Structure formats: C-alpha cells, structure tokens
C-alpha cells in the first residue's frame, strides 16, 4: 500500500490535484519542478535554512559518488528488501543515496523525507524511483500506523514519532557509527577518541539483529575533505588541521557502522 501525505497544518489527508497536494481545509502544497513536495510550513521552520546546508550536501554528494559507502548502501537495501515492505520511509534521507538503492531492491513505494531543501532538491532531480518531500521528521507528514519499514541513516531519531508512524508489524532499520568510525580523522582533533556504542533500543521496539559492518579505505586528500565536511565535527577542524591533512596526502580511514534491525512490539 502506498502512503498518503498528511497536511502539516491540520493533519488531514492530502489529495493530489493537478501538480499540488490539497487537504479538505484547502491548505495547498505545490510540487516543485524537480518532483518533490515542500511540506514544511514557514511557521514550522526554526531557521531560514534548516537541516544540512548546501556545502554539507555537496560534500556528501561528492563523497558518496566515490563509491566508498557502496557496501553500506547495499547492506541496508538488502535488509530492507528482506522485510518485503509495501512501503518504506527513509527519515532524514539527505541526497537520497540510500533511498534510491532501497527503491531498486524493493517492490513497495519508497518515500524520502528531509528538512534540508538543498538535499531533497538534489535527490528528486537525480532519482525518479522514490517520492521525496521536504518536511520535519519530528512531525513526519504521514498518518499513524501505516509504515511497513522505517529507515534512519545517521539522522536524528524521534522515538515517539517512530512509534506513531510504524504499522503493527513494522521494522525499523537504523545505521549509526560503529566503534572506531573515522578514528584516524578524529585523532587529528581529539586527544582521546571514544568508541561509539550501539544505539539504545527505541521505546516501543525490540531488537532483532545488530551487525557491525567495517572496511578500511585509502582516501585522497580531496575525499578526506569531503568526508569531514559532511560530518557534524567539521567545524572542529582549524586551518592547521587542514594543512596537516593536505601534506599527508593519501591515508587509510576506518569506516565502521552498526546496522540495527528493530521490530515494533506487539
Ligand atoms: C548526517 S545526514 C544523513 C543523510 C542521509 N541519511 C545519508 O546518510 O546520506 C542527516 C540528515 O538529517 C536531516 N535532518 C536533521 N534534522 C531533521 C529533521 N528534524 N527533520 C528532517 N530531517 C532532518 C539533515 O538535513 C540531514 O540531511
Ligand atoms: Zn490542512
């Protein structure tokens, strides 16, 4: 079953009319020429440009294009398709790198939601096999208990919202940093690097499997630069750190991820 979007202003179901979505209260949201719909009303924005900015989006796009995260992308898409979902929501989908791979593996309808307009614009322009919207995942624009699989890849988790969106048998699949993810880069800025731990089981879900997926890759300075720029710790890198990285040239970097599969509790 495909999912109907919900009006972010009055929670009524949105119906397609021409190239817009409209609720019974006449709240209207137009599809952009790239094919996504913006369901983030100005009054719900807490900044002018919420979510990842264009620099982060471009850096992530370039880094993901190198193929170094291909092994994670394929593992996620395979795990999602094994659930045989009728529909999937990728919460905090960014540029749609994982969303479109999931859509390639699954027969069901795949939705990508992100608060960053720059990211969604890019995703919708590039990938036609999913439905993308700009919206907050703290109040996702879908009805209660309809989603078969919820996916969260390095995105914030809003526990209550996950429970609300999930259908009775739903799966929740979360990718989060593994113990020594990007250890070599973090050592440049932190005196001590602490290992990441697996994410706690979200309220209302039970753990099915938790897999650690790791690879060590050799990256050029340009790749390292993009990899750092797309992470939240980029702002910690000062000019002397960038200089040292550039002088080093190529280096080995650990990529490490927890892939957690939860199921909604009956
Ligand atoms: C680290 S990025 C991951 C993007 C994508 N899942 C990936 O791995 O390529 C986190 C994403 O979450 C989005 N995000 C942060 N807060 C959000 C919110 N409240 N609602 C929707 N998206 C949000 C950001 O804009 C960003 O695209
Ligand atoms: Zn409405």
pLDDT in tens, 178-217: 999 999 999 999 999 999 999 999 999 999 999 999 999 9
Q: Is the CB of 94 under 6 A from ligand 1?
A: yes
pLDDT number for residue 201: 97
pLDDT above 80 (res 76): yes
Distance of CA 49 to the CA centre of its chain: 17
CA of 2 from ligand 2 middle (Å) equals 20
Q: Is 141 in the pocket of ligand 1 (CB under 6 A)?
A: no
In this structure, is residue 2 part of a structural domain?
Answer: no
Domain count along the chain: 1
Ligand 1 centroid from CA 12, angstroms: 25
Name the percent of the chain lying above pLDDT 90. Answer: 90
Determine the distance from the C-alpha atom of residue 263 to the mean position of all C-alpha atoms in its chain, rounded to a whole number: 19
pLDDT of residue 10: 96
- What is the pLDDT at residue 51? 78
Q: From CA 44, how far away is CA 124, in angstroms rounded?
A: 22
- Which residue's CA is the nearest one to ligand 1's atom 1? 154
Domain that holds residue 129: 35-264
Token pair recorded at residue 161: 């919202």
pTM confidence score: 0.96
Which residue's CA is the nearest one to ligand 1's atom 12? 92
**49: pLDDT confidence band, cut at 50, 70 and 90?**
confident
| Whole-number pLDDT of residue 41 | 84
Q: Among the atoms of ligand 1, which is closest to the Cα of residue 95? A: 9
Assign residue 131 the CATH number of its domain.
Answer: 3.40.50.150
164 near 89, Cβ under 8 Å?
Answer: no
Average pLDDT of the chain is 95
Query: Does residue 81 fall inside a structural domain?
Result: yes
For ligand 1, is residue 25 a contact (CB within 6 Å)?
Answer: no
Residue 244 included in any domain: yes
Report strand pairing: 20-22 vs 15-17.
antiparallel
Say whether pLDDT at 110 is over 90. Answer: yes
- Domain-located, residue 88: yes
């Amino acid at each position: 079953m495909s999912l109907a979007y919900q009006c972010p202003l009055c929670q009524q179901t949105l119906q397609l009319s021409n190239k817009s979505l409209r609720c019974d209260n006449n709240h209207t949201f137009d599809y952009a020429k790239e094919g996504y719909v913006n369901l983030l009303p100005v009054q719900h924005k807490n900044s002018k440009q919420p979510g990842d900015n264009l620099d982060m989006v471009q850096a992530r796009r370039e880094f993901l294009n190198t193929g170094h995260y291909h092994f994670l992308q394929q593992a996620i898409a395979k795990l999602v398709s094994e659930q045989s979902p009728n529909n999937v929501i990728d919460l905090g989908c960014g540029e749609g790198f994982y969303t479109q791979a999931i859509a390639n593996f699954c027969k069901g309808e795949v939705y990508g939601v992100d608060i960053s307009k720059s990211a969604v614009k890019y995703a919708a322009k590039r990938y036609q096999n999913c439905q993308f919207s700009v919206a907050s995942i703290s109040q996702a624009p879908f009805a209660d208990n309809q989603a078969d699989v919820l996916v969260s890849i390095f995105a914030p988790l809003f526990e209550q919202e996950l429970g609300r969106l999930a259908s009775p048998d739903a799966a929740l699949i979360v990718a989060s940093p593994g113990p020594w993810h990007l250890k070599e880069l973090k050592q440049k800025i932190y005196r001590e690097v602490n290992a990441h731990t697996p994410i706690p089981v979200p309220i209302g879900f039970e753990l099915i499997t938790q897999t650690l997926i790791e690879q060590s890759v050799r990256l050029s300075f340009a790749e390292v630069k993009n990899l750092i720029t797309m992470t939240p710790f980029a702002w910690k890198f000062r000019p002397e750190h960038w200089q040292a990285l550039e002088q080093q040239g190529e280096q080995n970097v650990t990529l490490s991820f927890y892939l957690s599969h939860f199921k909604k509790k009956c």
